[in-house]
Structure 1
Amino acid sequence: MKLLMSFLLALLLVVPGCSSEKKQTDGKIQVVTTLFPLYDFARTIGGNRATVTLLLPPGVEPHSFEPRPEDVVRVNRADLFIYTNAAMEPWAANIISGLDRGKVEVVEGGKGIPLMQGPVSDQHRCEHDAHEGKGVDPHIWLDFDNARTIARNILAAYVARDPANKAFYQQNAAKLDGQLAALDQQYKETLAQCPKKVLLHGGHYAFGYLARRYGLKYISASAVNADAEPTPAKLAELVQVMRREHLNYVYTEELLSPRIAETIARETGAKVLMLRAGHNVTKDDLQRGVTFISLMEENLRNLKTGLQ
């Protein structure tokens, strides 16, 4: 696969007209990001001095994303390529291996953030998976203190690329940092007042950081790997938890099937609420101008409802 990607990349780069994307000459920093939180932070900090694009097509679930040769070409035309970490985007390694590292700066947004462990499904529990890093929760941005670190890493990349406009990037980053700090405080205050502390999620293990920071017990139907399916025994266990904890809501997530959450809801008489992990957004979301902050504010409203 890597050899094929490299060959196609070379072909696309040397054949005129194979890509409609041209290197910008307006003086702006060209940035390609993998996930929506990185995209939103990068466009906020870069302001009108950067052109920021999202590598994932709208609505695509990132865990199953496979980069195409034209994606590698697109990143090669950038100044900065920003990804989260190797656990979140293992497919980014193929892109990075094909880059001209003398021209494209690779930025690990999650640099310096320790990863927490999450559950591993039985079918993935083996020695090979331990070496591959499965079972590590990569959704670091859902602890908003981590989100602030990601923003600082992006700021550092901008300043290194364009030191003459350091003050401009710092001003934008400071405003974003204040918004994330306020969001963090809002979560702490609101969730501390909720009488229920159990967050039951009918999807893959994505909200461990959020639960740990804000004092919730988090139970998911599936493990960290998004393709895992809960067993009948696991589903029965979740139904018992719903009844024992007197939970009236079960959560589902965007871009993945709500089938499991709906099954649990039918068995318990509960209702289903959306909880956004924020990896990616739909085309409609992009068109209506959602931000990471607005998505997380929506989450807080749904958490407040579900934990009453």
Structure 2
Amino acid sequence: MFNRVLSILVAVAVLGILVTGCQGQKKTSAQPSRPIVITTLFPLYDFARTIAGDRMEVQLLLPPGVEPHHFEPKPDDLARIHRAALFVYIGPFMEPWADKIIQGVDRTKVRVVPAAAGITLLPAMAHSGKEQHHHDHDHNHQVEAYDPHVWLDFKADQAMVAKILEALIAADPAGAEQYRRRAADLTEQLSALDARYKAGLASCDSRVLLHGGHAAFGYLANRYNLNYQAAAGVTAELEATPRRLAELVQQVKQNKVKAIYSEELVSPRVARTIAGETGATVLKLHGAHNVAKEDLAQGVTFIKLMDENLKNLQVGLSCKN
């Protein structure tokens, strides 16, 4: 009796596998797969999906809500990269783990795009205090020499859009006309964003931008002539020292700073501590490294995040426009 029941169960299981396999084959034939583009950070994802449209499937490697400086790719992530048509990243100064990965990919199948190649980088420690120059974190790695947050210079974004466009056309020449049209529109939007920032930050009572997080906004400050000071270095794992906190508290008082900024995906504890000592307001700036799951699902764009930043900057710096 037992053997008969077992035979029936095995037969049912086999039938289920065959049916599932047939359904899978039908789905595959009905929905041919598109080339996959893997991007590391949210701005690259947003630029690539805008230019690619529906001709390619653009994926964000970072899970939503994950802080990128702490990200370590898992085996599944590596497999996704090896299956992709394009792998787009900022550069080794932002994603040092990517260098090891791309050494193992078949360049005849996966086109590797270092989007920020050729862009002039700012020194890493320009805005975060002298003490951080020789600071080692838990793994005894030296602080990077350059600031990797190039996407917060909207002129640099236009150069990265051009790099992504070139790679998409090389991978899919048949879509060149569509890619060029969408890239031109995106470039125009980034240029208009730059113009809004220049006008919006031209006449402010204060030009002192104090940030209670890691030094992510140096490029933005450099482009719009702001005096930017951050609590820590260019990676989020570097913590502010007591001396650095005291320096920022003193700057708030001396410059009569009304607001100190915190950032997305990083605890606002430092900003709140400084605000508690000085009476300043805590406002948020979005570095756009990554976005929350809800924002990703709602289709938030890099430009929308940057427009929200501009509003908060105008409030905190008491700007006229």
Single out whichever of 255-264 and 92-101 deviates more from structure 2: 92-101
Q: Which residue does the alignment assign to 2:306?
A: 296
Q: Does 1:62 align with 2:68?
A: yes
| Residue equivalent to 1:43 | 49
In structure 2, the partner of 1:229 is 239
**Alpha-carbon displacement from aligned partner over 1:265-290 (angstroms, at most 9, x marks no partner):** 00001111110110000101112211
Following TM superposition, by how much is the alpha carbon of 1:133 offset from its aligned partner in structure 2, in angstroms? 6.7
Whether the 8 Å CA contact 2:36–2:56 is kept in 1: the answer is yes
Contact in 2 for aligned 1:67/1:95 (Cα 8 Å) = no
RMSD: 2.3
Which runs of 5 or more structure 2 residues have no equivalent in the other structure?
Answer: 1-27
After TM superposition, give the deviation of residue 118 of structure 1 in Å: 2.2
- Could you tell me how far apart the structure 2 residues matched to 1:232 and 1:153 are? 42
Q: Which runs of 5+ in 1 are unaligned?
A: 1-22
Matched letter for residue 125 of structure 1: H
- Please, which of 98, 105, 109 is the counterpart of residue 99 of structure 1? 105
Go from structure 1 to structure 2 and tell me whether the alpha carbon gap of 1:273 and 1:126 turns closer, same or farther (over 3 Å shift): closer
Distance 1:211 1:100, change over 3 A: same
Give 1:11-160 correspondences, 5 Å limit: 26=32, 28-119=34-125, 122=131, 125=134, 134-160=144-170
**Which residue is equivalent to 1:278?**
288
TM-fit CA distance, 1:112: 1.4
Secondary structure of the residue aligned to 2:271 is helix
Instruction: Name the % identity.
Output: 54
1:250 aligns with 2:256: no
Asked whether the 8 Å contact 1:72–1:99 carries over to 2, the reply is no
Deviation at 1:102?
A: 1.6
Secondary structure of the structure 2 residue equivalent to 1:251: strand
Q: Distance in 1 between matches of 2:100 and 2:75?
A: 10
Does the residue aligned with 2:260 lie in a helix, a strand or coil?
Answer: strand
What is the CA–CA distance in structure 2 between the aligned matches of 1:123 and 1:190, rounded to whole Å?
32
Distance 2:145 2:209 in 1: 20
Instruction: Give the SS at the match of 2:180.
Output: helix
Match runs of 1:205-244 below 5 Å = 205-244=215-254
Shift of 1:95: 2.0
Distance 2:230 2:71 in 1: 22
Give me the TM-score of the superposition, normalised by structure 2. Answer: 0.85
What is the identity, as a one-letter code, of the residue corresponding to 2:63? P
1:215 is displaced (CA, Å) by 0.8
Q: Measure the CA separation in 2 of the matches of 1:184 and 1:145.
A: 7
For 1:211 and 1:28, locate their aligned partners in 2 and report how far apart those are by CA, in whole Å.
39
Letter in 2 for 1:71: D
**Is this contact kept in 2: 1:65–1:91, CA < 8 A?**
no
Contact conserved, 2:78 with 2:101, CA < 8 A, in 1? yes
What is the DSSP-based 3-state SS (H/G/I as helix, E as strand, rest coil) of the residue aligned with 2:296?
A: helix
Q: Give the structure 1 partner of residue 205 of structure 2.
A: 195
> TM-score with structure 1 length normalisation?
0.88
The Cα shift of 1:296 comes to 0.3
Following TM superposition, by how much is the alpha carbon of 1:98 offset from its aligned partner in structure 2, in angstroms? Answer: 2.5
Counterpart CA distance in 1 for 2:271 and 2:224 is: 23
Q: Which amino acid aligns with 1:248?
A: K
Question: Quick check: 180-189 or 282-291, which moved more?
Answer: 282-291
The alpha-carbon deviation at position 252 of structure 1 amounts to 0.4
| Residue in 1 that maps onto 2:21 | none
* Distance apart, 1:147 and its partner CA: 0.5
Structure number, greater radius of gyration: 2
Matches for 1:153-192 after TM superposition, within 5 Å: 153-192=163-202
Give every structure 1 segment of 4 or more consecutive aligned residues whose post-TM-superposition deviation is greater than 4 Å.
none
Superposition deviation, residue 97 in structure 1: 2.3
Q: Secondary structure at the match of 1:206?
A: coil
Q: Distance in 2 between matches of 1:61 and 1:126?
A: 20
